Amino acid sequence: MSNERPVTLAEVKEILEEEQKVRAELGPEQKVSLDHVTRLIKLSADDARKLFKELRSLEFVSENVAVKIVDTLPAYPEDVRALFAKERLILDKKQIDQLLGAVKKYV
C-alpha cells in the first residue's frame, strides 16, 4: 500500500525547509521548488492543514480538490466552480457558501 497523498504548497515548503536543515545544500530542482512555493503560498503549513481538514469534513470535497482550494484560496463562486469542473459535480449555492466560508476563516 502506498503512502502517497496530495500535499498543499505550504506543506511542500515545510518539507523542503526541513530537508534543507538536514542536508548541506538542496539540489537545483529543490532550490527552485522552494523559491517557487515561497512566492506562491498564502497560508502557513499549520493553517493549510487545518483548512484541508475542515474541507475534507465536507462530504463532497475530495482530497485533490481540497488541496487545490487550500493552494488557491478561492474568493468567488466562479473560482470554486472552476476547481470542481473536472469532478463532474455541480455544486449548489449552499455548498459553495460552505467552501467560501471555510476559506474566509483563514484569509
Residuewise pLDDT in 10s, the chain (107 residues): 568 889 999 999 999 999 999 988 999 999 999 999 999 999 999 999 999 999 999 999 999 999 999 999 999 999 999 999 888 888 999 999 999 999 999 98
- The answer to whether the beta carbons of residues 41 and 56 sit under 8 Å apart is no
Where along the chain do its domains lie?
A: 9-40, 45-104
DSSP assignment of the chain equals: --------HHHHHHHHHHHHHHSSS--HHHHHHHHHHHHH--S-HHHHHHHHHHHHTSTT--HHHHHHHHHH---SHHHHHHHTGGGT-PPPHHHHHHHHHHHHTT-
Fold type of domain 45-104 = DNA polymerase; domain 1 (1.10.150)
pTM attached to this predicted model? 0.89
